[in-house]
Amino acid sequence: MKVRSRQGCTVRGLLLGNSVVVLDVESARRVYASGFYGKPLGISKPRNSSFTSPLVLGLLEALYLVEKGIICVEDSNGKMMEINELKEHARGYVPRFDDLYLVYRHARDMGYVPRSALKFGADFALYKRGPGYEHAPFLIQVTREDEEIDPLEIVRSGRLSHSVRKSFILAVLSGQNRIRYLLFEWSKP
């Protein structure tokens, strides 16, 4: 489903604030089915790609799909956005965008499906197969190696992830593109 050129873009998304919407339902279905990208409008937990509504993508997802040549994004004036323009726009809406996107892209490139884990107090819930097929086995919190972390926050995150049957991972960023993953397992002394 790769797009050959921006002029020949077959899947178009419309930038609306902190989201990109794929209005064409057939295109929306193909994008969703290619890796559980986005959420169909009005459907919180789709079972498959047989929905009949537009697809709403977050800015992390949209940028990834643009970089992979799967979609192109138009602004509200109908102008195709370049990758750097979309990144700059996203930085205005998503705190720590660059750090989050680095981990998001790495997870996707490794075949995982990262989704927001705000309800769990983490940055990402990470699926091996995809939502609807399994519960996310991992929660990821992104941090930089030069940031201080309160040990109590690690304990809280570990306890929460354990209570929802997920492993807690700290993604530690260093340098420009290096990620180290620290997996925490709950144990009783």
Catalytic residues: 127, 135, 166
CA distance readout (Å), 70 to 20, 107, 184? 13, 17, 35
Tokens of 92: 């205005």
CA distance readout (Å), 35 to 3, 65, 121, 142, 174? 16, 10, 24, 22, 28
Among 122, 95, 94, 120, which residue's Cα sits nearest to residue 107? Answer: 122
Q: Per-residue b/e over 8-47, b at no fewer than 16 CB within 10 Å?
A: ebebbbebeeebbbbeeeebbbbbbeebbbbbbbeeeebe
Question: In residues, how long is the chain?
Answer: 189
